[in-house]
Amino acid sequence: MPMPLYGVVNSPCRSHCRAAATLLVSVSLLCSCFAIAMPSVVVTVDQSGKGDHRRIQDAIDAAPANDSSRTVIRIKPGVYRRKVVVDKPYVTLTGTSATSTVIAWNESWVSDESPTVSVLASDFVAKRLTFQNTFGDSAPAVAVRVAGDRAAFYGCRFVSFQDTLLDETGRHYYRGCYVQGATDFIFGNGRALFDKCHLHSTSPDGAGGAFTAQQRSSESEETGYSFVGCKLTGLGAGTSILGRPWGPYSRVVFALTYMSSTVRPQGWDDWGDPSNQRTAFYGQYQCYGDGSKTDGRVAWSHDLTQAEAAPFITKAWVDGQQWLR
């Protein structure tokens, strides 16, 4: 609403003042439109020195700290072996292709600073990149930690062994992504929608693999993971469960998803605590493939109806209508 023009009501030149005020408001709105429509700042990272920066972190450090205009960082093909911390909002990292543009690090998960890439700020976007932690199978090793709100990943790859993708907190969207690991390789307490993604388990037979370990700790938390139109594969038959509760109110739903024989018939596990069976919410809706059969599922999981699945299977699950473009 327009602000009142103080001191004008009793002025003999009221009409002139109103005209000036109208002009001022018009100019202000025009400036606002230009501010909203400002093009993104685009910079290039190239290890060969042919771009604006050689290192991804240098490009992020050079981005405005408190600016609603987007900084697009185009990363030329190569393997960038340095940690990356995204601590500024409205940053986009985009590669040429996920197979040719790789961000890699080699470190076990011992602190919040351990992941290959840490997304701490809001409104982050990544496209066509591989995030990898090459530490191996002797300890958890996080490829990406997502702790900022409204983060979106398109056509990206996440590769490690245990605890690959820490979807920690905030609302997140993954479309057409590939996530690889063996144990709890998608974990945390975020609210995430995985849309047409490929989850691949590298857990060997008898190792107790798990696709997810969601951490919701109370019924009031609006968190959980939803997988819609995805594909689940692995190295062998019956090597992985769909998930286990890192928190007692853990919540995970698979819908319209292909499940290979890699998925164990029981589907879910209570992580050695039967009380989790009363509080965790695990369900599937119209999934298909050898691993999708529900007759062998644990009794406390849910074979969802359309009405029960509805809240989980659209972008509204992450309030995407408000922020996804």
Short-list 300, 290, 238, 227, CA closest to 269? 300
**Per-domain boundaries in the chain:** 43-323
Neighbours of 10 (CB within 10 A): 6
Report the C-alpha gap between 231 and 67 in whole angstroms. 38
Q: What is the pLDDT of residue 26?
A: 37
Burial class of residue 245 in the structure, from the number of CB atoms within 10 Å of its CB (0-12 exposed, 13-18 middle, 19+ buried): buried
Q: What is the pLDDT of residue 40?
A: 83
Residues designated as active site:
184
| pLDDT tens, the chain, 325 aa long | 333 322 333 333 334 333 333 333 333 333 333 233 345 899 999 999 999 999 999 999 999 888 789 999 999 999 999 999 999 999 999 999 999 999 999 999 999 999 999 999 999 999 999 999 999 999 999 999 999 999 999 999 999 999 999 999 999 999 999 999 999 999 999 999 999 999 999 999 888 899 999 999 999 999 999 999 999 999 999 999 999 999 999 999 999 999 999 999 999 999 999 999 999 999 999 999 999 999 999 999 999 999 999 999 999 999 999 999 8
The structure tokens listed for 82 are 């340095």
Superfamily of domain 43-323 in the CATH hierarchy: Single-stranded right-handed beta-helix, Pectin lyase-like (2.160.20.10)
Q: What is the pLDDT of residue 55?
A: 98
Is residue 213 within 8 A of residue 187, CB to CB? The reply is: yes
Q: What is the pLDDT of residue 180?
A: 98
Is residue 219 within 8 A of residue 279, CB to CB? The reply is: yes
Element (H or E) spanning 232, and its range?
A: strand 231-234
Q: What is the pLDDT of residue 139?
A: 95
pTM: 0.88
